């Protein structure tokens, strides 16, 4: 299915699963700007709306409900996307509303959200810029979300050992600490590279791998 079919299916699902003010807010609040972002940016990056929630309700520091334009929750991480037009968020606001908007962004980060402001003008004039920026920002989370990594006991041991070695590990370190042979150590490192948790570090202009670096991700529940 194309964007419109998937979008309508996604929106209907969230609308039918809500009631009361949450349902009314979705009907009133999810509008043109959010749809443009989803069509011109999100759809081009993901091709689906998995783990994406419109008009997501949270309580602010005063105990009052606040609705985030779009929230993406793959695994344990949470991203809050706010599509901001120049008029509503700059021209037509006052000092109190502007101050509270900034306070909300700080509070959302306290709640564990990574807050991402999307300029509506970029969606109209240069959506490719937004696509490129989001790809760079979300790449580690996209890689983890595309496959559920199931680590073997040895792989988990190597990852924990890598953390103890300040995010860098060599085969010789694994042989020494875990008392396994070098071939098994190398095969385990290669497996973790394929799963996106380690990356090889080369020696200067040579093609020889000298060590492996740990790749962090907030979706790694076994660490956090």
* Residue 167 and residue 139 share a domain: no
* Residue 172 and residue 137 share a domain: no
| Helix, strand, coil percentages, rounded to 5, for the chain | 55, 20, 25
* Residue 183 and residue 97 share a domain: no
* Residue 101 and residue 31 share a domain: yes
Per-residue pLDDT at 222: 47
Name the strands in the sheet holding 209-214, side by side, starting at the edge strand that comes first in the sequence.
168-169, 209-214, 198-202
Which residue carries 């606001």 as its tokens?
93
Is there a domain that residue 222 lies in? no
**pTM for the structure as a whole:** 0.62
E strands, 73-214, in order: 78-84, 113-119, 168-169, 198-202, 209-214
E strands, the chain, in order: 52-59, 65-72, 78-84, 113-119, 168-169, 198-202, 209-214
Per-residue pLDDT at 217: 62
Q: Which of 146, 162, 195 is the last residue of a domain?
A: 146
Per-residue pLDDT at 7: 95
Is there a domain that residue 7 lies in? yes
* Residue 141 and residue 37 share a domain: yes
Per-residue pLDDT at 87: 62
* Residue 59 and residue 29 share a domain: yes
* Residue 11 and residue 89 share a domain: yes
Q: Which of 146, 173, 191 is the last residue of a domain?
A: 146
* Residue 111 and residue 58 share a domain: yes
* Residue 102 and residue 181 share a domain: no
Q: Which of 146, 162, 191 is the last residue of a domain?
A: 146
In a 3-state reduction of DSSP, which class is residue 78?
strand
E strands, 182-223, in order: 198-202, 209-214
Structural domain boundaries, residue 179: 153-214
Task: Supply the CATH number for residue 205's domain.
Answer: 1.10.10.10
Is there a domain that residue 50 lies in? yes
Is there a domain that residue 128 lies in? yes
d(CA 167, CA 187): 19
Per-residue pLDDT at 218: 47
Domains: count for the chain: 2
Q: Mean pLDDT, 10 residues at a time, over the chain (224 residues)?
A: 90 93 90 94 90 92 89 88 75 74 88 93 94 85 56 88 88 95 95 91 80 74 46
Is there a domain that residue 221 lies in? no
Is there a domain that residue 223 lies in? no
């Amino acid at each position: 299915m194309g964007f419109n079919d998937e979008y309508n299916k996604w929106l209907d699902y969230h609308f039918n699963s809500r009631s009361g003010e949450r349902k009314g807010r979705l009907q009133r609040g999810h509008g043109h700007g959010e749809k443009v972002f989803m069509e011109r940016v999100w759809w081009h990056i993901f091709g689906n709306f998995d783990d994406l929630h419109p008009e997501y309700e949270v309580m602010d520091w005063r105990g009052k409900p606040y609705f985030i334009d779009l929230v993406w929750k793959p695994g344990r991480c949470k991203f809050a996307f706010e599509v901001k037009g120049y008029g509503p968020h700059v021209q037509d606001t006052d000092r109190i509303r502007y101050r509270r908007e900034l306070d909300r962004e700080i509070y959302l980060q306290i709640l564990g959200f990574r807050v991402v402001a999307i300029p509506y003008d970029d969606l109209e004039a240069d959506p490719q810029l937004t696509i490129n920026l989001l790809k760079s920002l979300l790449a580690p989370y996209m890689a983890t979300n595309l496959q559920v990594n199931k680590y073997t006991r040895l792989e988990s041991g190597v990852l924990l050992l890598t953390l103890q070695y300040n995010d860098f590990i060599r085969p010789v370190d694994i042989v020494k600490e875990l008392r396994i042979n070098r071939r098994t150590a190398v095969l385990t490192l290669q497996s973790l590279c394929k799963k996106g948790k380690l990356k090889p570090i080369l020696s200067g202009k040579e093609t020889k791998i000298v060590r492996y670096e740990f790749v962090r991700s907030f979706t790694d529940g076994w660490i956090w």
